[in-house]
Amino acid sequence: MFVSSYRQKETFEEVLLSMDAIWVSGGNTLNMIAIWKAQGVDKILKQAWEQGIVLGGGSAGSICWFEQGSTDSRPVALSAMNALGFLKGSHCPHFYTEGPRRDSYHEMIMDGSLMNGYALDDRVGLLFSGQELKKAVTSREGSKGFYVSKVNGKIVEKELKVEVLKG
């Protein structure tokens, strides 16, 4: 989203809506979404999603599509944030691969600062069609994904069936 108006002669809308797929990398989710909103890119991405353009990403690029996420975008500690809201619930990447992520995600769901949602190991992806989860996939044997929810005052991790992609 860092462009020069002298060189960039196509609008964000023209560029993004001409794509078959849009991939968002990791980084600071909070700042990324703030820039998108300032530039109107959030609305264009919603239009892309509604038109069937494939949206994806890793880490911050996966949090952004959900209603909420667990982020390291602020100093000191992991925190809850609102995201774009295309997909229902919350999301936590790096669930087992970054030490405090799991416990922090549990705490945020327990105290209500995050909704129930999906927690994934690195290299696990979720395939949605609209709001419906179709499958979980990974490129690494043993990587896991979970649906984490608060049930009767306790955290429940329901392990997702994760298909290992061979190739």
Q: Are 120 and 95 in contact (CB under 8 A)?
A: yes
Q: Are 159 and 144 in contact (CB under 8 A)?
A: yes
Q: What percent of the chain has pLDDT over 70?
A: 99
In this prediction, residue 6 carries a pLDDT of 81
pLDDT range class, residue 65, cuts 50, 70, 90? very high
Residue 94 token pair? 């790096």
Inform me whether the pLDDT recorded for 153 exceeds 80: yes
DSSP readout, 83-98? ---SEEEEEESSTTTS
Query: pLDDT (tens digit, 9 = 90+) per residue, 3-48?
Result: 777 888 899 999 999 999 999 999 999 999 999 999 999 999 999 9
In this prediction, residue 51 carries a pLDDT of 96
Homologous superfamily (CATH) of 12-164 is: Class I glutamine amidotransferase (GATase) domain (3.40.50.880)
The residues annotated with a catalytic role in the active site are 59, 94
**pTM greater than 0.75 (yes/no):** yes
Domain extent listing, the chain: 12-164
In this prediction, residue 130 carries a pLDDT of 93
Inform me whether the pLDDT recorded for 2 exceeds 90: no
Stretch among 6-10, 83-87, 121-125, 150-154 having the lowest mean pLDDT = 6-10
Inform me whether the pLDDT recorded for 67 exceeds 90: yes
In this prediction, residue 162 carries a pLDDT of 98
Residue 7 token pair? 């060189």
How far from 68 is each of 21, 101, 109, 114, 136, CA to CA, in Å?
22, 15, 11, 7, 19
Burial tier of 12 (Cβ tally within 10 Å: 0-12, 13-18, 19+): middle
In this prediction, residue 5 carries a pLDDT of 79
Share the mean pLDDT of the chain: 95
Mean pLDDT across 108-118: 98
